[in-house]
Every structure is written in structure tokens, then in C-alpha cells.
Amino acid sequence: MSSIRPYRPSDMDDVIDICVRTGDSGADATGKFSRSTLLPDVYALPYIRHDPSLAWVVDDGERAIGYLVATADTREFARWFADAWWPEVVGRYRPSTSERPGERGLIESASNSARMLVSDVDAYPAHLHIDLLPVTQGQGLGRRLIDTLITELTVRGVAGLHLTAGASNVGAIAFYERVGFHELERDGGSVTFGKRL
Ligand SMILES: CC(C)(COP(=O)(O)OP(=O)(O)OC[C@H]1O[C@@H](n2cnc3c(N)ncnc32)[C@H](O)[C@@H]1OP(=O)(O)O)[C@@H](O)C(=O)NCCC(=O)NCCS
């Protein structure tokens, strides 16, 4: 029986694995980038480093098979990402040597932390990333992870929460609408959803 529990440092390899295996708009991104740590270094590990108390995993008794990571304050997180996190890891990723589709764009996007400042960021200051391996999807665990985060953010007095999904990730978009988010903005490739707390 799978359960939700706080993240532990020993979960890191599982989180990296989950991030890669769900990182292509919900599908498997294995082999998409020249280094498998690129997606986790942008979308999972910095959140855990920055505020490990906003990271939870789904544990099937043997390993983590899903996770949710978040920040309560996107403006502060974006500053820390630009000043501390990305300079620490960017040396692993050289856009000039990258020839894989999408890799250069992801590195350039990560280098521009202003990308996190959606237009309603002050009304929805927290943001999250959630990924579950296919084996654990559709069992209500995504909803429970979101509820776990919302309970904690509410205790902290955070006013709102947002996330951005790939516009082609129709499953995730349906999920966010079902768990109470509404669309805030949309550009060609992505949709941002928000929920006031
Ligand atoms: C998107 C994701 C987090 C949803 O988690 P989940 O555990 O599968 O979702 P739940 O079982 O908790 O579903 C909650 C509600 O959303 C709905 N839902 C979930 N996935 C859905 C889908 N693909 N299509 C339509 N509705 C969906 C469920 O029907 C349920 O509705 P209900 O409670 O009103 O009956 C999970 O499927 C996932 O990790 N996918 C791959 C990675 C990904 O795309 N992450 C998001 C990147 S932005």
C-alpha cells in the first residue's frame, strides 16, 4: 500500500529517476538530454535544497514512486535559484556542446530565473512540481499530495499557489482543473494555473 511521507535525503536517486521518466510533458524523457540530471537540476532538486519541508514522496514500501516539491515564495526562490543554485550546477551543462532538441532551450530558460515570475505571482506566491510514475497514477495520490501541500501552505499563511504545465500535457491539465486550479495565463507552449488559499 503506497503512502505519502516527507522527503528524506535517501530519496534523491528515486526523485531523479521519477523526474526523468515523467519529464517529457508527462511521458518518459529518458535519453532526451545529454545528461540525465538536467531536468532534475531545474525542476526538482533545487526545491528540495531550498525548502526540504515542502517536499513529499509517495512510498510504495520499497522506494519513492512519486513526489511533490514546492516553494512558498516564488520571488525569493527565483533570486536564490539565480544567485546560488544555478551557478553551482550550470557547469555540467554547456549549451554550446549540446545538439539535442530542446536541451539548449531548457538551459537558456533555467539561466533566466525571471521565467518563474508569472504575472500574478504576488497573488499566487507559491508554486509546485508534481510527478508520479505511471504505476501510481490515477489512484488519488496526486490529489492527496496537493492537499498535503495546501495544508502546509495554509498553516504558513501563504495567499495562493500556482504551477505551469506544458500545453500538450492534457492529462496534467485535466488533473489541475479537477483539484481546484483555474487557468491564469497561457502562451504557445505552456499554461499557468492558480489556486487562492
Ligand atoms: C498529473 C498527475 C500528477 C496526476 O496525479 P494522479 O495521482 O494520477 O491523479 P489523481 O488520481 O489524484 O486524480 C485526481 C483527479 O484528477 C483527475 N485526473 C487525473 N489524471 C487525469 C487525466 N490524465 N485525465 C483526466 N482526469 C485526470 C482524476 O480523474 C481525479 O478526478 P476526481 O478526483 O474528481 O475523480 C500524475 O498523473 C502524473 O504525475 N503524471 C505524469 C507527470 C506529469 O505530467 N506531471 C505534471 C507536470 S506539469
**CB count in 10 Å sphere of residue 121:** 20
77 in a structural domain:
yes
| Residue 169, in any domain of the structure | no
pLDDT digits (tens, 9 = 90+) for 177-193: 999 999 999 988 999 99
> What total number of domains does the chain contain?
1
DSSP for 62-85, please give it: SSEEEEEEEES-HHHHHHHIIIII
Name the pTM for this structure.
0.97
Mean pLDDT over 165-179 rounds to 96
User: What's the 55 CA to ligand 1 centre distance in angstroms?
Assistant: 18
* In-domain check, residue 27: yes
Pocket flag, ligand 1, residue 141 (CB < 6 Å) = yes
For 103-122, the pLDDT digits (tens) are 888 998 999 999 999 999 99
pLDDT at 154: 98
Q: What is the pLDDT of residue 94?
A: 74
Q: Is residue 178 part of a domain?
A: no
Measured CA to CA, the distance from residue 150 to residue 83 in angstroms comes to: 28
Q: Is residue 189 part of a domain?
A: no
Q: Would 184 be classed as within a structural domain?
A: no
CB 126 within 8 A of CB 158: yes
Cα distance between residue 100 and residue 78, in whole Å: 26
CATH number at residue 81: 3.40.630.30
Residue with CA closest to ligand 1 atom 44? 26
For ligand 1, what atom is nearest to the CA of residue 138? Answer: 11
Give me the torsion for CA of 139, 55, 190, 176, rounded to 10°.
40
Q: pLDDT tens digits for 69-84?
A: 999 999 999 999 999 9
DSSP SS3 for 180: coil
Q: What angle do CA 175, 102, 106 make, to 5 degrees?
A: 75
- Whether 84 maps to a domain, the answer reads yes
Point out the ligand 1 atom lying closest to the alpha carbon of residue 169. 44
Asked if residue 176 has its Cβ within 6 Å of ligand 1, the reply is no
Residue 98 above 60 pLDDT? Answer: no
Query: In the chain, what percentage of residues exceed pLDDT 90?
Result: 90
Confidence of residue 100 (pLDDT cuts 50, 70, 90): confident
Q: What is the pLDDT of residues 118-148, one digit of tens each?
A: 999 999 999 999 999 999 999 999 999 999 9
42, 29 Cβ separation under 8 angstroms = no
> Residue 161 belongs to what H/E stretch?
strand 160-166
Nearest Cα residue to atom 1 of ligand 1? 172
Residue 20 has pLDDT above 90, yes or no: yes
Confirm whether 171 is domain-assigned. no
Note down the domain range covering 106. 3-161
pLDDT at 96 over 70: no
